[in-house]
Amino acid sequence: MASAEPQSDVHPDESSMSFGDHLEELRRRILLSLAAPLPLAIVLFFLSDWLIRWLAGPVMWALRGQNMPTTLQALGPAETLGMKLKISIIAALILSGPWIIWQAWSFIRPGLYPHERRFVYLLIPGSGVLTVCGVVLMQYAMLPLMLWVLIGVGKGLDLGEPGPRLPVEAQIALEEASEVSLVTTEPVDPQAGDVWLTWPDFDRLSVAYDDAAGGVSVSEVPRGRSMITQEFRLSFYINFVLLLHLAIVIAFQMPLVIMLLGWLGMVSADWLRDNRKYALLICAVISAVITPADVVSQLMMLLPLYGLYELGILLLVFAPAQRVAEGRIFSLTPSNKSVARDDQSRQSEQSARPGGESGRTPEDGDESTDDEGNRR
């Protein structure tokens, strides 16, 4: 059965489709929606290395800031390949999101009245802008600082008792050393400034230095204080970052949710202003749930969340349902009701004047008309 192409510009009351036509149209839109992500995922697979580097940028910055090795671990042979596939598929779905939304909108739009479509015209672009703002804020501001704080807390954890102190000369030589050699046996004639790590134990770090007697002495670096080595697994880190991005994208839709509730008459701007303290408490609880357990991360999430709450109040004030339905959000044109009100006021003023609606009296002019409209 041939599908009837819906006419999106036709009023919903002037066109109709059978149930079979609706199913055919739905099938066609689903196939068109899938036409973009699949080939896009194949293309993005060859760019997956760049995408992983982009996602790993914050942790690399934090590790460098804490003077720690900038490495990520892959504990399985297929872990890297699986992560590339996952990243390419997710990126394809995100980049093809506008195309998928357009296909869904093309299916729904013919069944909506013109004033109902105006609400969608405001919500969808607004959601896209808030999503981009949330991702940028998380990737370049919040996530690097969160990781820097978390890594710093783990780095400062002491697991052992203080061991013997290293001589001052050895400390200076260790700080000035530019490289650490890996050896299987202790050097026979080490030079001052040499630093080496004994294999296969990897727990004996030795340094050669000039002693007070003018010779070269060797000291083993004390291992009394245990340090936690923070080397993150690639898959765990990427999943952690994606989860945070998803959380902030959902959180950044708060202004639109508030505006939608206001359009439905469930909340008002005055009610939202009166309950600011409860909104702040709820934002604090949400921040504590979706962020790591440190105060800095929670504050960095709390401030944007409460700012979005205030933004929702402003949107509800400047974009009420009536103005959106009339299409007057970005227009200075007065509404139809305002024009009708002004016309009614003018007619009332004219009828209140002597002589009827026109306000003219016989003394106002020498000319008058008879019943046939002929000029006398």
**For the segment 54-81, what is each residue's pLDDT rounded down to a tens digit?**
999 999 999 888 877 788 888 888 999 9
Instruction: Check residue 9 and give its pLDDT.
Output: 55
Of the two residues 374 and 19, the one the predictor is more confident about is 19
Instruction: Check residue 350 and give its pLDDT.
Output: 60
Among 8-17, 209-218, 321-330, which stretch is predicted with the lowest mean pLDDT? 8-17
CA 187-191-196 angle, to 5 degrees, is 50
Residue 200: is the preceding peptide bond cis (ω within 30°)? yes
Interval 97-136: pLDDT, tens: 888 888 888 888 888 888 888 888 888 888 999 999 999 9
Residues 6+ apart with CB under 8 A from 48: 83, 84, 85, 87, 88
Say what the pTM is: 0.66
Residue 245 has pLDDT above 70, yes or no: yes
Instruction: Check residue 349 and give its pLDDT.
Output: 56
The stretch 22-46 carries a mean pLDDT of 90
Q: How high is the mean pLDDT of the chain?
A: 79
